[in-house]
Amino acid sequence: MGILTIKRLVFLVLILALGAGYYIYQNGFNLDGKESAVAGREGGKGGAGKGGAGKGGAGKGGAGAAVPITAALVEQRSMPVKLDAIGNVEAFTSVAIKVRVDGQITEVNFKEGQEVKQGDILFKIDPGPYTAALKQAEGTAARDRATYERARQQDARNKELLEQKFISADGYAQFQTNAQTAEAVAAASQAAVDNARVQFEYTTIRSPITGYAGKILLQRGNIARAADPSPIANVNQVHPIYVTFAVPEQRLAEIRKRMGSALLAVEATPSDAIDGKRAVGKLVFIDNAVDLSTGTIKLKAQFENLDNALWPGQFAQVSMRLFDQADALVIPAKAVQTGPNGQFVFVVKEDSSVEVRPVTITRTDGDLSIVATGLKKDEQVVTQGQLRLASGTKVTISKS
């Protein structure tokens, strides 16, 4: 084969390749041989094809098929105005259990994490020394009462003798002094008995509240000392329970106003809540000063917590309801889009085309957005399918 023939073959292959490329460019085929959604040369500008939208939109030569979307009506209804914050769960009451007498711990009558009732025996300290001290004090008190009784009887007899002038006033005064002294000694002895009884009772340590016990910090067999500042256990009351949180100081005046007229409802959702279940409580405390470092005011809400959904030390999402906004315009939050000029929605018009409408969103409450401007009641906004839309695109509404 000559050189001239080879050149002709190469030239022919180039001609065929250029023709194939031009065909693909004009007809918009992808690598799989299927028709692509790329618009024509003129249809790619502004999303419209020759005489209409491109092949990927409404067709090359006219309106073409409508884009399927889902839509929702703009509703007008009452919506709550809330303050959201991150809160911390705190025990309603927390008690550090400490010993009040020295001695060896002989009994521990609860398990760590166990719920204990008020008055339940938690610990026992060896009562031996305190039992002996109590008996000794009771014996001394009995002796002093007997001495006082004898002195009182002598005082009574000598008082009669004084009245009959058988003894002098100075002689009687001595008996009277003896009786008064014996009475004082008997009273002091009784006080010693009471003190010894109290010390004996301190050898039995009871729970002062109903709650859940924490870690046992001093086990059976150890020597407990009253001078030791460390507790031997702690008990937290969780029925009811508190959640503390902070809000900007700018909302303080409104909160105080609302709290003075009615109880403010507070919802708390712990981080491990199942199915997002919320606990409902009420605001019970406003701190007496604004935190200068953060510009926030500390608040505290109380919850019954009968199901133990809230636990001391947890973080919780807090939402406090201030009041209800009447006649608020509400749309699904997923209908709101964000562009270079701010937020907007696609509004479905009567001719089944869509219009780009700028909107102002006041706030978002869960899956709903509250609209300040840009929409009217009963207008339809697109909730799914926005990526395929432009102003004027024809749509068909599907059931969501």
The string of pLDDT tens digits covering residues 29-78 is 443 433 333 333 333 334 333 334 334 444 333 345 889 999 999 999 99
Asked if the bond preceding 270 is cis, omega within 30° of 0, the reply is no
Nearest residue to 242 (alpha-carbon basis) of 400, 80, 87? 87
* Separation of alpha carbons 40 and 53, rounded Å: 9
- Please tell me the predicted confidence (pLDDT) of residue 10: 62
Q: Are 248 and 388 part of one and the same domain?
A: no
Q: Are 187 and 149 part of one and the same domain?
A: yes
- Please tell me the predicted confidence (pLDDT) of residue 271: 82
Regions of the chain where pLDDT drops below 70? 1-11, 13-14, 17-64, 399-400
Q: What is the CA radius of gyration of the chain?
A: 44
* Separation of alpha carbons 164 and 185, rounded Å: 30
**Residue 388 belongs to domain with CATH number:** 2.40.420.20
The string of pLDDT tens digits covering residues 89-98 is 999 999 999 9
Residue type, 339: G
- Please tell me the predicted confidence (pLDDT) of residue 5: 63
Q: What are phi and psi of 226, to 5 degrees?
A: -65, -30
Residue type, 350: E
- Please tell me the predicted confidence (pLDDT) of residue 6: 65
Domain that holds residue 348: 67-79+327-397
Helix (H) or strand (E) holding 283: strand 279-286
- Please tell me the predicted confidence (pLDDT) of residue 157: 87
Strands (E), 293-358: 296-303, 315-332, 337-339, 342-348, 354-358
Give the Cβ contact number of residue 163 at 10 Å.
10
- Please tell me the predicted confidence (pLDDT) of residue 30: 42
Q: Is 62 part of any domain?
A: no
Burial of 148 (0-12, 13-18, 19+ CB in 10 A): buried
Q: Is 71 part of any domain?
A: yes
Q: Are 372 and 277 part of one and the same domain?
A: no
Please state whether the predicted TM-score (pTM) of the whole model is above 0.75: no
Cβ atoms of residues 310 and 270 within 8 Å: yes
Buried b (16+ CB within 10 A) or exposed e, 282-313: ebeeeeeeeeeeeebbbbbbbbebeeebbbbe
Q: Between β-strands 342-348 and 380-384, what pairing exists: parallel, antiparallel or unpaired? A: antiparallel
Q: Are 236 and 307 part of one and the same domain?
A: yes
Q: What are phi and psi of 29, to 5 degrees?
A: -85, 140
Cβ atoms of residues 272 and 315 within 8 Å: no
Helix (H) or strand (E) holding 359: none
Q: Are 267 and 361 part of one and the same domain?
A: no
Instruction: Tell me how many domains the chain contains.
Output: 4
- Please tell me the predicted confidence (pLDDT) of residue 298: 96
In 235-362, alpha helices (H): 252-261
Q: Please report, to the nearest 10 degrees, the dihedral formed by the alpha carbons of residues 66, 68, 69, 72 taken in order.
A: 80
Q: Is 151 part of any domain?
A: yes
Q: Between β-strands 279-286 and 204-206, what pairing exists: parallel, antiparallel or unpaired? A: unpaired
Domain boundary among 202, 221, 238: 202
Q: Are 93 and 239 part of one and the same domain?
A: yes
Q: Are 264 and 293 part of one and the same domain?
A: yes
Q: Are 108 and 142 part of one and the same domain?
A: no
Q: Are 212 and 112 part of one and the same domain?
A: yes
Q: Is 309 part of any domain?
A: yes
CA triplet 248, 249, 255: central angle to 5 degrees? 95
Burial of 330 (0-12, 13-18, 19+ CB in 10 A): buried
